[in-house]
Amino acid sequence: MTKKIAIIGAGPGGYVAAIRAAQLEAEVILIENREVGGTCLNRGCIPTKTYFKNAQIMNSLKRANEFGIEVDGYRLDGKKLLERKNNVVNTLVTGIEKLIASYKNIEFVPGKSSIKDKNTVTVELLAGGTRDIEVDHIVIATGSRAQMTETKGVDLEGVITSDEILELDKIPETLIVVGGGVIGLEFASIYQELGSQVILLASRILKDADKEISRRLTPLLKKQGIEVYVDIRAREIVNENGKLKVVAKYKEKDEEIEVLGDKVLIASGRAPVVEGLNLDEVGILYDRKGIQVNDDFETTVEGVYAIGDVNSKGIQLAHVASSQGIYVVEKIMGLEPDIDFEYYPACVFTMTEVAQVGYTEEQLKEKGIEYKSSKFMFGANSKAQSSGDIDGFIKILASEDNKILGVHILGPHANDLIQEGTLAAVNNLDASSITKAIHAHPTLSESFFEAALGLDEKAIHTAPKRKRGTRR
């Protein structure tokens, strides 16, 4: 008997779930009240990475003299920047729409959903009218939205979220970024290269990262030209002679600072989108962190699931949402999904990239897990030297028997290199699974190889550790 599944939301969780369910011959109703692709494609991952490429080009132009190249008279056109971003997004949205349409057992319904009961979704159709859809299972994939802080003055003109900044056609002369998480740091790093003078106000820098990464990233942000204030909170925003003044107070000392800017970006995180779903009446439990789910992503109502940013797992990553979507529909269709949710890569697209998978040193210490650590600096890598990208390192954390527990990378192409660590951690591999594979020369991947060798003090391009009692 064919199962009928309603999926609310066509972001990276919802549309991927719909396609996988269709492959398994389910009858799928995919409901979306905005564009397909969700926040990631339209207002998040893809627009920011499009701007990230512009920022890289601007950075290369600024550094041209290092490579013996003289460049004069270049400038950024904000309107063309916005136009290119929109073209990239529209191309991908159109592609996904065509992909969904290619599955005859997926019905795409434009509209706003509410859950009437565990087997019925009521859709307020964008074309007008309403429609009740009877199904066997419901998957909620409504994602998240940018949230404002309660700071006084956030309602002033020029105080914006990540949604609004991506629609600007002019680069602010001075941009104040409030928030030291992934969103805040990416925009700060990108806009500094695009031509803004960025002022960053952060209570912490990447609070979920390994502390050594956070500590070493801060001076690199300053080196980039960003004015960085850490352990500080924005207390008030006021309009002062056409500029926006942010008054901020240090957390640990009785001291305030004032900074002036043209725009203030509030990057204080994202909140799950649960409004209008009728969760209370149906009996689906949720809180400010999201909809409560079990290990199979099932809500407190049997047969109703929640995936991605909207659930209480707290992992706001598009690739994790997609994997959760695949897991849920495979479970619904009677399969046993083979997806590891313990180890997943997390990436930050600052100019000096940050990537991690698995446990941080702090987490291992807290759990009382014995471990060893090895680190290799990009400055000792020939490809990094020839490219002029020598800042940062790769750190591998492993058990006493060399099983990979965590990998943390700060440096060039960190977000591509992390996958080798993810593959090792997910498959419970040890360092020898990395070191017995020949790594191409000259490549950045050799840094990963050297870090793995270092777990047993076999690294080739690192000086041996000085033994106690010896002198040089």
What digits encode the pLDDT tens for the residues 304-355? 999 999 999 999 999 999 999 999 999 999 999 999 999 999 999 999 999 9
User: What's the pLDDT tens digit per position in 55-66?
Assistant: 999 999 999 999
Cβ of 315: how many Cβ atoms within 10 Å?
15
- The answer to whether the beta carbons of residues 428 and 435 sit under 8 Å apart is no
**CATH code linked to domain 352-454:** 3.30.390.30
Q: Which residues does the annotation mark as catalytic?
A: 441
Say whether pLDDT at 470 is over 80.
no
Say whether pLDDT at 471 is over 70.
no
How confident is the model over 418-435, as a mean pLDDT? 96
Strand partners, 410: 354, 393
How confident is the model over 150-162, as a mean pLDDT? 94
> Read out DSSP for 317-341?
-HHHHHHHHHHHHHHHTT-------
Rounded distance, CA 175 to CA 167, Å?
15
Say whether pLDDT at 464 is over 90.
no
> Read out DSSP for 364-408?
HHHHT---EEEEEEGGG-HHHHHHT----EEEEEE-TT-BEEEEE
H or E element in which residue 139 lies: strand 137-140
Q: Given this model, what pLDDT does residue 468 score?
A: 52
Question: pTM of the predicted model, to two decimals?
Answer: 0.95
C-alpha gyration radius of the chain = 24
The closest of 204, 213, 265, 259 to 231, measured between CA atoms, is: 204
In the chain, where are the structural domains located? 4-146+271-332, 159-268, 352-454
Q: Given this model, what pLDDT does residue 465 score?
A: 78
Cα 333 to the center of its chain, rounded Å: 30
- The answer to whether the beta carbons of residues 12 and 96 sit under 8 Å apart is no
Rounded distance, CA 119 to CA 129, Å?
20
User: What is the separation, in whole angstroms, between the first and last Cα of the chain?
Assistant: 77
**CATH code linked to domain 4-146+271-332:** 3.50.50.60
- Domain topology for 159-268: FAD/NAD(P)-binding domain (3.50.50)
4-146+271-332 and 159-268, same CATH topology: yes
Q: Where are the alpha helices (DSSP H) in 202-302?
A: 211-223, 279-282
Q: In what order do the strands lie in the sheet with 256-261?
A: 232-240, 243-250, 256-261
Residue 229 in 3-state DSSP? strand
User: What's the pLDDT tens digit per position in 241-274?
Assistant: 999 999 999 988 889 999 999 999 999 889 999 9
Tokens of 71: 């460049």
How confident is the model over 422-440, as a mean pLDDT? 96
Average pLDDT, the chain: 95
Cα 206 to the center of its chain, rounded Å: 11
